Amino acid sequence: MEILVINAGSSSLKYQLINVETGGVLAKGLAERIGMDGSNIVHSWTKNGNENKKEICLDLPDHTVAFNTISDLLVSEETGVIQQREDIKAIGHRVVHGGEHYTQTQIVTSEVKEAIKELIPLAPLHNPANLIGINAAEKAFPNATQVAVFDTAFHHTMPEKAFRYAIPEKYYREDRIRTYGFHGTSHKYVYEQASKHLDKTDLKAITIHLGNGASMCAINEKGESVETSMGFGPLAGLIMGTRSGDIDPSIIFHMAEEMNMSLEEIKNVLNKQSGMLGITGSNDARDVSKLYHEGDKHAILCYEMYTHRIKKYIGAYTAVLNGVDTIIFTAGIGENDALTRQLSCSNLSGLGIVINEAANISKNHPKQPVEIQAENSPVKILVIPTNEELEIALQTWEVVR
């Protein structure tokens, strides 16, 4: 069975058409810089045993336009791999926030869509894009079963001492204010890949997902998430493309009371104007890396702040796990930015983490799991390409077959 997977992020839309019986990818692509200048789609497909690729530079003002363009590519005589849209029987959607009720993969119904909509305040950058993807998919592929795979589901193994906040209990019992965590599909996938690569089933791991959104996860020897850096919403934790990450709540009160900012203005600043963008003027790590190597002081500070925050969480999660077997870098920045990995792992020999700088550079952009630790490093340092799409396809297949 062929399943189309849609992974709509805040400024990107990844897709793959996957044969779940073989794991083969018939077509895949990435729409980048949605809502920004320089947007484009790179579409790859396999036909008659030949691999093909086409890059299309065009204006992508929003996710709806991006999705419609992708749909046309899949059925086009030149770039398509299916005869008609009816050939696709199921579509799996990455959905960032499922709240406390949706802890498992769900077939999309009007009730599920309404729940995703109600949770937009908790994931303001992603849940709207996820809904747009679902609604557009229903129109483009009306005969397909739509399935939602929630990023929050993997983290429901966290113990109460980790997911509760130290606020009056009624806010948890009545309003469900707690840590949910995100990027669960990615954390789960790379952990399982690391376990296979190291041939170790009782692996203690710290997974580091670094994209435009970023989070870390402590995974115990049972393969369970026991801590994660994002919280009630995806704003907490690491510094991200446009999000501040952890911030003293007193700053929010100060902005409101002393600077006369509305809550909407504060939310917009912390979610959409902060992080890399706030420090350097760009939320694209490739732009920031270029500026860093040119000696730009803002880019240098950004890298220092970004990796300092990662190191703080590595230390905390090593303590939570009572030791760690492996550190895993993944996602766009984690897989492709050697400088981030080097700075994140530097001066951590006291925790048994020692990076091999030459291997870190030479094994950048890996296609398979690679090790970049020094020979004397007790902790393995892995770079593993995430494949949230395959994980989503497999979970989709489980509920529709």
pLDDT digits (tens, 9 = 90+) for 4-48: 999 877 778 889 999 888 888 999 999 998 888 899 999 999 988
Tell whether the torsion through CA atoms of 34, 270, 307 and 154 is positive or negative: negative
Annotated binding site: 7, 14, 94, 209-213, 284-286, 332-336, 388
Looking at residue 123, what is its pLDDT?
76
Looking at residue 28, what is its pLDDT?
94
Annotated binding site for ATP: 14, 209-213, 284-286, 332-336
Annotated binding site for substrate: 94
Give the confidence band of 136 by pLDDT, cuts at 50, 70, 90: confident
- Which two three-digit tokens encode residue 193? 């890949």
**Nearest Cα to 122, choosing from 234, 10, 243?**
234
**Alpha carbon distances (Å) from 345 to 206, 230, 290:** 12, 21, 21
Phi–psi pair at 40, nearest 5 degrees? -160, 165
**Nearest Cα to 94, choosing from 14, 187, 192, 210?**
14
Q: Hey, what CATH topology would domain 2-150 get?
A: Nucleotidyltransferase; domain 5 (3.30.420)
Distance CA 326, CA 371 (A): 10
Alpha helices in 119-230 (DSSP H): 127-140, 160-163, 170-173, 184-198
Boundaries of every domain in the chain: 2-150, 201-383
Mean pLDDT of the chain: 93
Looking at residue 132, what is its pLDDT?
85
Give the confidence band of 121 by pLDDT, cuts at 50, 70, 90: confident
The bridge status of strand 2-8 relative to strand 90-95 is: parallel
CATH assignment of 201-383? 3.30.420.40
Distance CA 392, CA 149 (A): 6
The bridge status of strand 380-383 relative to strand 370-371 is: antiparallel
Distance CA 358, CA 371 (A): 12
Give the model confidence (pLDDT) of 275-330 as tens digits.
999 999 999 999 999 999 999 999 999 999 999 999 999 999 999 999 999 999 99
Looking at residue 47, what is its pLDDT?
84
Looking at residue 101, what is its pLDDT?
79
Distance CA 180, CA 121 (A): 14
Q: Is the pLDDT of residue 148 over 90?
A: yes
Mind telling me the catalytic residues? 151
**Nearest Cα to 336, choosing from 294, 288, 291?**
288
Looking at residue 364, what is its pLDDT?
96
Give the confidence band of 129 by pLDDT, cuts at 50, 70, 90: confident
Whether 2-150 shares its CATH topology with 201-383 is answered yes
- Which two three-digit tokens encode residue 27? 């077509």
In terms of pLDDT, which residue wins out, 390 or 254? 254
| Mean pLDDT to the nearest integer, 210-223 | 96
Distance CA 144, CA 90 (A): 5
Q: Rg of the chain over CA atoms, in angstroms? A: 21
Q: Give percent above pLDDT 70 in the chain.
A: 100
Phi–psi pair at 143, nearest 5 degrees? -90, -5
